[in-house]
């Protein structure tokens, strides 16, 4: 079952490949060399077989889209320190300390401690590289935080056992309360109430009005970051910005030029009668400045905090209609 679970993880997120040697070390420590060898061979055979089928069924593009194109992503400057400081030290400090307690406790069984250290090292490296790549947001930290939570709970239990063995009741109960509060602080630090993100009446009214306006627009529309709005309005899609940028930066140079040129011709030639944008720099990947667009730009007729009012996420702000002459900027929000 472990082989199949890891196989699914590999084909869910390619950076899981980084974990493989660390998993093999852990299996070696827990089950012995022969079991680790069988584990590794079975995983390799199944992974190659699945990859071969996917490569065949996609006409040879599976490796290109999952590995080659991803390898062209740029590294975000400052991430190594931001990862250690922000994502770990400030994000899960108590979990880290309790994980260290757990590993130190397991040092009495050296192979077990080595197995946990190997897993932790692999998850740390995978998360660091995932965050380092352009587009690596907080969601890539979920596997690491899950492992840290498992180890932290185990370390917390070890300390509770130590506290329960104390002779004096004041120390016993006092330390138990202190540890419980200490552990709860990190839970409270990361607490999030999902109900806060439920759309308000104003959000729904704005969204319904926007979809209705899109449905009534003449000609083609382009919404580079919110394709679902095109679908809801019964309109055809234009390329999602992330997909287009990946192709431009990660594909064959001639193909990249042809894609960028085709998109420039459509944007500057009036193929799209309406553009719905989040920012002025929406088409910078195509080397098109906002002032080059021959559109009339206006704000959406919605409250300023509509769409994700409590989340710093992307949201449509600017409605542009083609005028065939030059940019006419009538927006209040820039």
Q: Do 211 and 310 belong to one domain?
A: yes
Confidence of residue 148 (pLDDT cuts 50, 70, 90): very high
Mean pLDDT of 216-236: 90
Q: Is 117 part of any domain?
A: yes
Are residues 83 and 179 both part of a single domain?
A: yes
Provide the domain limits for residue 84: 79-191
Q: Are residues 216 and 246 in the same domain?
A: yes
| Residue 208 CB partners (closer than 8 Å, separation 6+) | none
| pLDDT at residue number 108 | 87
Q: Do residue 173 and residue 258 come from a single domain? A: no
Asked if residue 243 belongs to a domain, the reply is yes
Query: Do residues 50 and 91 both lie within one domain?
Result: no
Name the domain boundary from 55, 72, 89: 72
User: What mean pLDDT, rounded, does the chain reach?
Assistant: 84
Domain count, the chain: 3
Could you give the residue ranges of the DSSP H alpha helices within the chain? 2-12, 20-31, 33-57, 62-63, 79-82, 93-105, 110-132, 142-164, 169-189, 201-215, 227-232, 241-250, 253-269
Greater confidence (87 vs 231) lies with: 231
Band of residue 75 on the pLDDT scale cut at 50, 70, 90? low
Whether 334 is in a domain gets the answer no
Q: Which of 56, 72, 88 is the last residue of a domain?
A: 72
- Mention every residue, 6+ apart, whose C-beta is less than 8 A from residue 102: 116, 151, 152, 154, 155, 158
Query: Are residues 206 and 316 located together in one domain of the fold?
Result: yes
**237 shares a domain with 301:** yes
Is the pLDDT assigned to residue 211 strictly greater than 70?
yes
Same domain, 182 and 218: no
The predicted structure's pLDDT at residue 308: 58
Same domain, 206 and 317: yes
pLDDT at res. 154: 93
Q: Which of 72, 94, 117 is the last residue of a domain?
A: 72
Give the model's pLDDT for residue 53. Answer: 92
Q: Is residue 155 part of a domain?
A: yes
Do residue 185 and residue 255 come from a single domain?
A: no
- 37, part of any domain: yes
How high is the pLDDT of residue 286?
77
Mean pLDDT of 67-71: 71
Please provide the distance, in angstroms rounded to a whole number, between the alpha carbons at the two ends of the chain.
Answer: 54
Residue 205 sits in the same domain as residue 265: yes
CB-CB contact of 304 with 202 (8 Å): no
Q: Is there a single domain that holds both residue 205 and residue 324?
A: yes
Instruction: Identify whether 319 is part of a domain.
Output: yes
- With 90 as the cut, is the pLDDT of residue 189 above it? no
Residue 171 lies in a domain: yes
């Amino acid at each position: 079952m472990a082989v199949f679970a890891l196989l699914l993880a590999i084909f869910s997120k390619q950076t899981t490949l980084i974990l493989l040697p660390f998993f093999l070390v852990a299996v070696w420590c827990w089950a012995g060399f022969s079991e680790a060898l069988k584990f590794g061979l079975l995983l390799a055979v199944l992974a190659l077989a699945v990859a071969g089928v996917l490569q065949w069924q996609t006409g040879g593009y599976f490796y290109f889209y999952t590995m080659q194109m991803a390898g062209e992503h740029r590294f975000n400057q400052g991430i190594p320190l931001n990862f250690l400081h922000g994502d770990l030290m400030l994000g899960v400090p108590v979990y880290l300390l309790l994980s260290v307690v757990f590993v130190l406790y397991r040092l009495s069984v050296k192979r077990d401690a080595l197995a946990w250290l190997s897993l932790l090292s692999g998850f740390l490296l995978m998360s660091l590289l995932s965050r380092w790549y352009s587009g690596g947001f907080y969601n890539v930290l979920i596997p690491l935080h899950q492992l840290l939570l498992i180890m932290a709970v185990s370390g917390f239990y070890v300390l509770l056992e130590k506290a329960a063995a104390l002779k004096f009741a004041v120390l016993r109960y006092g330390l138990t309360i202190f540890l419980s509060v200490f552990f709860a602080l990190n839970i409270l630090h990361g607490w999030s109430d999902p109900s806060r993100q439920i759309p308000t009446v104003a959000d729904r009214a704005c969204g319904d009005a926007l979809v209705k306006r899109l449905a009534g627009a003449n000609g083609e529309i382009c919404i580079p970051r919110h394709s679902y709005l095109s679908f809801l309005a019964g309109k055809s899609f234009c390329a999602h910005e992330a997909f287009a940028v990946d192709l431009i930066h990660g594909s064959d140079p001639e193909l990249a030029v042809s894609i960028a040129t085709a998109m420039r011709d459509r944007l500057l030639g009036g193929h799209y009668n309406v553009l719905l944008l989040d920012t002025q720099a929406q088409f910078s990947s195509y080397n098109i400045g906002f002032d080059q667009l021959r559109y009339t730009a206006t704000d959406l007729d919605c409250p300023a905090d509509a769409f994700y009012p409590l989340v710093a996420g992307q949201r449509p702000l600017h409605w542009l209609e083609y005028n065939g002459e030059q940019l006419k900027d009538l927006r209040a929000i820039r």
